[in-house]
Amino acid sequence: MTPETSATETDSGQKSAPDVPVDAGVVASVGADIDAAARIGAPLPESAHGGVATGGVDSPVVVLDEDQRRVVAAPPRGHLAVLGAPGTGKTTVIVELVADRVLRSGYATDEILVLAADRRAATRLRDVLAVRVGIPTAGPLARALTSFAFGIVVSGNAADGLPAPRLLTGGEQDAIIADLLVGDDEDGRSGDWPAHLDADVRCLPGFRGELRELMARAVEAHVSSERLTGLGDLRMRPEWRAAGRFIGQYHDVVDAFRDQFYDSTELVHRATEIVDSAGPDGTGLGPFARLKTLVVDDAEELSVAGSELLAALARRGVGIVVAGDPDVAAGGFRGASPDVVTRLPNVLDEPAASVVLGTSYRGSRQLADVYERVVARVGTAGAGTQRRVRRPTRSVEDSVLVTTPSSVAEQVAIIARELRERHVFGRVPWHDMAVVVRSRSQIAALERGLAGLEVPTRVLAGGTALRDEPSVRAFVLAARIALGVCVLDDEAAGELLTSVLGGFDRVELRRLRAALRQREADAGGSRSAAELLVEAMQLPGSLAELDTRHGRKAQSVADNLRRAAGAAERGATAEELFWSLWEGTRLERSLVEQSRGTGLAADEANRTLDAIVALFAAARRAVERSPGESPAHFLDQITESDLPEDTLAPRAAGSAVVITTPVGTVDRDFDTVVVCGLQEHGWPNMRQRGTLLGSGDLADAAAGIEPTPSDARALVLHDELRLLARTVSRARERLVVSAVAGEDASPSPFLPLFPPPTDGLAERHPLSLRGLTGRLRRDLTVALERGEHAVAERAAVSLARLAENGVEGASPDDWSGLLDLSTDAPLVSRDETVRVSPSRVEAFRTCGLHWLIDELGGSNSTVASGLGTILHEVAETLESADADEIWAAMSTRWNELPFEAGWQARLEEVKGADLARRLGLYVASREARGAAVIGKEVAFELPIPLVAEGGSDGPLDGATRPGGEHPTLAVLRGTIDRVELLADGSIDIVDLKTGKSEAKTNAGVVDNPQLGAYQLAFSEGAVPGTEGREGAGAKLVVLAGTAKTKPFYEPRQAPFTAEQAAAFREEIARTALEMAGAEFPAHVSSHCLEPFSFGRCRIHVVKAVTS
């Protein structure tokens, strides 16, 4: 293995700068990611470390069957197609063919080369070949097609005196296309596009994806931009005509770049041109000038452009050997031609022999039966002989398991259990198991679900767009603020502090805000925490003055922003801005240390490092491509692009279950394969690809063929079946198929191809230490309740063993509910006064436990309660019927509300303006009826003795409380929103309400304790300014937006009689004694477990989760 192979083939499965010899002078084009990883401190991929190759002639020889020996013995200069079903040993025979040519036929290592389906497959095959051959090589013996083409173009350009090429990544190409489309709209040059492809459509990522696909198909079909325009006219396809003009403009822009840029299809096309034009001595082909044999593994994944490159090499006398199976092609949606193996003579335009490998060595008879049922429905693609294979006769019971859970959560739990069972009982390493989903969009949720159930995972396919990575969003936001293109407001400050750059969690951020608010209050100020946080982030040293850990952490973030802003002022590039931000943190030490561990934290650290390295590499490529480009422009491109970026960053260390799509299984097989989410409308996905711009029709149109819609649907169905066939063929020992069958999901029509579902899988406990602990705790509890002492003893002994080994939750010391009460003392002692709030009386009536939690600080403020508070305070200071004036006053306090997102703020603004309108209408209606406000936010205080009349030391008659001696005095203390003087001289007590669930009829407030408390205080003369006047009762003014026919409701409680006042006074006293006690009633059925009560007491009364 040679130095030039370092870090050029990784597990990412994505397109990036390919591997080329170091003496070709293009190290910079492949080294950006490695350099970034090295500077950040991330460990390099294992493939970058090199190694000592062993093997050679004396290596253990694989025993080949008769068909495989025919392949190895094929004439060196001839062409050969090797057709074989999965498990027939195609890759094995390729390795032996290379070894035979090098070790026995005298080939030099630069005279034979293997092409693999992608970079990951090439990495694996390259290492196997290096060990098998066991001699020094001039270069890697296996490459991906793009890597091979890149090497040819490098050599060809050098021979022609041209600069080295640069590979244009998908994200970079998408950014260029987006810029050109926007520029066309701004310049008024977008009139060529048909009406259904208007500006709103053209700005969508999906449109750009279809446009890139059309461009690739045009290159493969040798359709220039001018010819595409002509085909648009000929076939009445206005979208082709417009795309032809656009593609011409695109090439003009790319050709103007300093370097020669190619996308992957253009690169292979250019390599074909160089091969055809090279001299007899191979001038211009560099390290490939002496090539005699080219072997292609997984040839069913070869693109049209790749086939043309093979034909060009064949014309130079290079022997072409291809191996594959058209039944399992996974790249149909990317333009792969699954029939290249069966049509090799037509592809090369030269005779070619063929060998069918007739024996499968993988799996069991049951697995083979499933595979045969799937491929029987696949179009033959010109073949079919590979299906008549000798299958394994070994029978393994339960080697195929089908499950139809009722929910996605249940599906994840069953899959986790199956994987853990194979790992624990079957001794199968985690990395020898895979979960395959149809779409990349399913991976993230599945990864989180399995991680939560203690199954280590790693993603092998797809990837996430940079803009969707939390760490990337943090760097981009910080860079935007440093450049001055984004304002540092409260939302941005909170996002930065809670990101990877700040390290705060939500609790720490609340503490920081509280500390700033307290400092403001101590200074006599009244500004909100939001205003204070923004100011503190902008003023040097302001946060450090708090002299707390949170203050110092926040100060570090603020200082880092200022340094980056200074770099921006000095003209820093986007990459330099990112380095400035990175070097101002302690991320290098913390993330790298975490990434070298195991578990969820290590996986997350690896994902973060992966994303950061990819971001830095993308920034470097942008600078190299367009040195004068504004950093802000690059940040816009990252934010708008939804395409994953390639990266050579390290993956999580250790063994882990692979999560991938069918494409990610091209070069792999596994002991256990799980097909997850075999759902209707998902697999098969019958949406025809390329229908927006007709990319799938272009090749036929160029050849004068007109496809029919039925043909297109059949091709899609066959592609979907090939993906399923490939997936099930990857399993060596066990296949698990899962399809949710619930109210919102139905299994795929492919499900009948598998055995009937197995019932009862969801009832098994999770096969983990945590799950075992839960089951044993449940068994112990149930056994004790039933008096089954032997069962209880066995469970207790097992729990003791787990506890001795440090398993969390096994020791009774960790069990909730077993500790003694911390105290049985009453909440209020005899010598203290019981304070009773009118609004809390109703809460205590509803549920004493809920009241206690709030009383002890367990309550939390919400946007709704904050909105009500602002309205009350505005109503106190402003007496106006003008809704605009009321809303203007409320708006000045808007930043005090704890919004989680911008959309929530906008929604609440609508609600707030509506409340202002309703309050204005109420004020106007009272004025029209001659009522006057004589008090707002009127405070009162009413002492209530808690002893029986006559001075007895016993409690109030009929009012008892547990816990011994009782207090002797309560104080009813509250604030009345509005006290109004009616036209007849009576007093009306008003309580403003903004909640949707408030009572709206008189009957609903007859027993309202809050209004009752106000009336009691009035009847006792405790309300200032109302002495000597009659009472008109008390009422609610409900301003909530549920009032459709009227702007507000006024449910009224009739004036208290003397008897009613006395009875209510006694009730308050009785309630005060209960509030002061040591035990509090929980209304479990009517409140705690009532789903619409939203009680904080629920967690204290639900049963423990034991499994």
Detail the residues annotated as belonging to a binding site. Answer: 84-91
Amino acid at 646: D
Q: Give φ, ψ of 955 to 5 degrees.
A: -70, 165
Tell me if 894 sits within 8 A of 909, measured CB to CB: yes
Nearest to 773 by CA among 735, 722, 809: 809
Tell me if 83 sits within 8 A of 357, measured CB to CB: yes
Q: What is the 3-state secondary structure (H, E, C) of 879-926?
A: CCCCHHHHHHHHHCCHHHCCCCCHHHHHHHHHHHHHHHHHHHHHHHHH
Crossing angle of the two packed helices 470-483 and 600-625, in degrees rounded to 10: 40
The neighbour count for residue 1106, using CB atoms within 10 Å, is 17
Strands 969-981 and 932-945: antiparallel
Nearest to 701 by CA among 212, 237, 304: 237
DSSP element (H, E) containing 744: none
Q: How far is CA 198 from CA 244, 294, 412, 507, 630, in A?
A: 17, 47, 42, 47, 28
Quick one: tokens of 1070?
């009785």
Q: Which residues contact 200 (CB under 8 A, 6 or more apart)?
A: none
DSSP SS3 for 1068: helix
Strands 969-981 and 987-993: antiparallel
Can you give the C-alpha Rg of the chain in angstroms?
37
| CA–CA dist 550, 624 (Å, integer) | 40
Quick one: tokens of 706?
């007109």
The string of DSSP letters for 849-867 reads: HHHHHIIIII----HHHHH
The string of DSSP letters for 726-741 reads: HHHHTEEEEEEEE---
Long-range Cβ pairs for the range 952-957 (8 Å, 24+) = 955/1073, 956/1066, 956/1069, 956/1070, 956/1073
Owner of token pair 């009383």 = 855
Query: Across-strand partners of 245?
Result: none
| CA–CA dist 889, 798 (Å, integer) | 65
| CA–CA dist 1066, 636 (Å, integer) | 68
Mark the binding-site residues for ATP, compressed into ranges: 84-91
| CA–CA dist 625, 32 (Å, integer) | 13
Query: Across-strand partners of 940?
Result: 974
Quick one: tokens of 819?
């500790």
**CB burial readout 401-424, b (16+ within 10 A) else e:** bbbbbeebebbbbbbbbbbbebbe
The DSSP code for 367 is: H
Q: Which residues contact 995 (CB under 8 A, 6 or more apart)?
A: 864, 868, 1038, 1040
Q: Which residues contact 149 (CB under 8 A, 6 or more apart)?
A: 18, 267, 268, 270, 271, 309
Quick one: tokens of 369?
């039966």
Q: What is the 3-state secondary structure (H, E, C) of 957-978?
A: CCCCCCCCCCCCEEEEEEEEEE
